[in-house]
Amino acid sequence: MGTKNYIRLLIITVTLSAFLQAAAGEPYVTVKDGRFKLGQNDYTYIGVNYWYGGLEANTAKGRKRIKEELAFLAAKGVNNVRVLAGAEGAGPINGVPRVEPALQTASGVFNTALLEGLDFLLAELAKRKMKAIIYFSNNWEWSGGFLQYLNWNGQIADSVLRRKLGWDEMRDLVSGFYQCNPCISQYEAQLKLLVNRTNSITKKPYKDDPAIMAWEIANEPRPMRPVMIDAYKKFIHQTATLIRSLDPNHLVTTGTEGDMGTENMDVFRSIHEDKAIDYLTIHIWPKNWGWFSDTAIGKSFDKVLENTGAYIKRHTAVAIELKKPLVIEEFGLPRDQHAFTTESSTRLRDRYYAFVFDYLADPEKNAGVICGANFWAFAGKGRPSHKQLLWSRGDDFLGDPPVEEQGLNSVFDTDSSTWNIVTSFLKKIKAKK
C-alpha cells in the first residue's frame, strides 16, 4: 500500500471512529456482576433527591433556578438526581396541601404540557452528563399517589380524602390499591405516557435517553397490611415486567424502604430477586422510625448510628445474595435542635451523612454492592417562607414535601459544611476507581 493510500485509509478510520463515538453518545447505566456500569467503568455515585425538578422547570424563573442548581451540583461532583414524574389530583389531601400542579388532573386526563418541565430537566442533565431516577407515583399522600387513584374509583370518599387520617386508617385505605384493578390501570396509563414520551426539546424518546438511569415503580410502595403482601408482590412484578417490555434500555427498581416498608425481609428479598428488577433500594428515616424523640437528636445520636449501621448491613447481605447493586436512596436528619432556618447548625446531620457515605466509600463496608446514595433532600436556592410551617401555593419548592415542615430535612446551597462532607467522600470514591 502506497503512502498516500495509507494516509487516506488512516484518515477514514479515524473519522469513522469519531463518528461512531459521537453517535454512541453518553452510555446507559447498566448492571454487571452486582455493580453499576457506565460504559466499561464502575458507576458509584452520591446523588440527591430532587423530586420537584420537573415541576420547577415549568416557568422561566424556575428554569433559571434549575440551570443554576444543576451547575452547583455538577461543581460539587454530584451527578445523580431522583425525581417525581408527576402528581395526581388537586386540593387538600390527608389534611394538608399536596404538590401542584398535577400531571394527571382527573382520572385519565393528563396535563401533558406540564411534562415540558421534565423535558427541560432531562435536557439540562444530559448537557452535564448527569443521570435521573424517575419514580412514577407515590405510596404517600403528598403528591396524590395511591390515595388519589382509590378516590377516583370510589374507594375513598372526597370527605375522607380531605381530612386528616389516622395511621391505621391510612394503612387500611392505601392497602386497597393493590386489589383495585381500575386504580392500577390508571397508574399504568400514567406510566405508559411517560415511558413512551418524546422529549419536546431534544426530540429524543425517553426510552432512548441515557440521561435517565432508571424507572422506579413508586416512592416507598408498601403493602401497608400483611394481608396484601401477595397482591403487593404481584403488582411489583407486573409493573416491572411492563416497564421492561416498553423500555429495554433503562434500569428498573422498586423505590422501597427495605424491610421496614415491606413487612419483613422475606418480602423485600422476594420483590428484588425478580428478573425484571435490576437493583435494590432502601430508605432510612431515624425521625420517622422513632430512633430519637422530639428535638433530642444529640441525646440519641449513638443509637441513631447503631440502628442505621445495622439496617444497612442486613440489606447489604440480601444484595450480596441476589448479586445486585444496592442504593441507599433516601436518608435524612433534621438540623440540630430540630430547627428549620437556614442559619441553624447541621453538625449532627453532617456526622450522619459521613456515617452513611462511608458505607459507600469503604470497600469493606460496601461489600462491592452498595453503589449509590441519594440524600434527602436538595433544596438548592429555595428558601422557607416562614409564613407557616407547611408549604403553601406560591412558596419555593424545597426538599421537604408539602406534608412536612419546610426546612426540616432540606439541604440548601448555603450549607457549606454539609457540601464539604459530600465532596470529600466523592474524592474518596474517585480515588478508589
Residue 401 has pLDDT above 90, yes or no: yes
Average pLDDT over residues 28-56: 97
As a dihedral over the C-alpha atoms of residue 9, residue 12, residue 18, residue 19, rounded to 10 degrees, the angle is -150
Give the residue from 283, 396, 303, 390 showing the smallest Cα distance to 348: 303
Is 7 a domain residue?
Answer: no
Cell 476507581 belongs to 433
Is 13 a domain residue?
Answer: no
- Looking at residue 91, its amino acid is G
Residue 12 has pLDDT above 90, yes or no: no
Structural domains in the chain (count): 1
* Confidence band, pLDDT 50/70/90 cuts, at residue 24: low
Which segments within 254-343 are labelled E, that is strand? Answer: 280-284, 326-331
CB of 49 closer than 8 Å to CB of 376: yes
Provide the pLDDT for residue 386.
Answer: 82
Is 197 a domain residue?
Answer: yes
Residue 10 has pLDDT above 90, yes or no: no
Provide the pLDDT for residue 2.
Answer: 52
Cα–Cα distance measured from residue 361 to residue 432, given in angstroms and rounded to the nearest whole number = 8
Residues in the chain: 433
Residue 7 has pLDDT above 70, yes or no: no
Cα–Cα distance measured from residue 49 to residue 387, given in angstroms and rounded to the nearest whole number = 25
Provide the pLDDT for residue 26.
Answer: 87
Mean pLDDT of the chain: 93
Is 188 a domain residue?
Answer: yes
Domain around 397: 42-431
* Confidence band, pLDDT 50/70/90 cuts, at residue 194: very high
Residue 20 has pLDDT above 60, yes or no: no
- Which has the higher per-residue pLDDT, 388 or 308? 308
Q: How far apart are the first and last CA of the chain?
A: 43
CB of 59 closer than 8 Å to CB of 67: no
* Confidence band, pLDDT 50/70/90 cuts, at residue 295: confident
Is 33 a domain residue?
Answer: no
* Confidence band, pLDDT 50/70/90 cuts, at residue 219: very high
3-state secondary structure 20-61: HHHHHCCCCEEEECCEEEECCEECCEEEEECCCHHHHCCCHH
Cell 396541601 belongs to 97
Is 27 a domain residue?
Answer: no
Is 231 a domain residue?
Answer: yes
Phi/psi of residue 203, nearest 5 degrees? 65, 20
The two beta strands, 29-32 and 35-38, are antiparallel
Average pLDDT over residues 111-140: 98
Q: How many CB atoms lie within 10 A of CB 180?
A: 19
Provide the pLDDT for residue 393.
Answer: 87
DSSP 8-state code for residue 96: B
Residue 327 has pLDDT above 80, yes or no: yes
CB of 101 closer than 8 Å to CB of 91: no
CB of 370 closer than 8 Å to CB of 313: no
Provide the pLDDT for residue 339.
Answer: 87
Residue 48 has pLDDT above 70, yes or no: yes
Residue 94 maps to which CATH number? 3.20.20.80
* Confidence band, pLDDT 50/70/90 cuts, at residue 90: very high
* Confidence band, pLDDT 50/70/90 cuts, at residue 294: confident
DSSP 3-state of 12: helix
Residue 17 has pLDDT above 50, yes or no: no
Provide the pLDDT for residue 433.
Answer: 64
Look up residue 327 and give its three cell numbers: 442504593
Least confident interval from 2-11, 19-28, 147-156, 270-279: 2-11
Vertex 428, ends 375 and 215: CA angle to 5°?
Answer: 40
Provide the pLDDT for residue 392.
Answer: 87
* Confidence band, pLDDT 50/70/90 cuts, at residue 180: very high
* Confidence band, pLDDT 50/70/90 cuts, at residue 6: very low
Residue 191 has pLDDT above 50, yes or no: yes
Provide the pLDDT for residue 21.
Answer: 35
Give the residue from 26, 13, 24, 36 showing the smallest Cα distance to 433: 36
CA-based max dimension of the chain:
86
Give the residue from 12, 18, 42 showing the smallest Cα distance to 30: 42
Look up residue 130 and give its three cell numbers: 448527569
Cα–Cα distance measured from residue 359 to residue 238, given in angstroms and rounded to the nearest whole number = 32
Cα–Cα distance measured from residue 64 to residue 381, given in angstroms and rounded to the nearest whole number = 11
Distance, C-alpha 6 to centroid of its chain: 52
Is 31 a domain residue?
Answer: no
* Confidence band, pLDDT 50/70/90 cuts, at residue 23: very low
156-175 burial string, b = 16+ CB within 10 Å, else e?
Answer: beeeebbeebeeeebeebbb
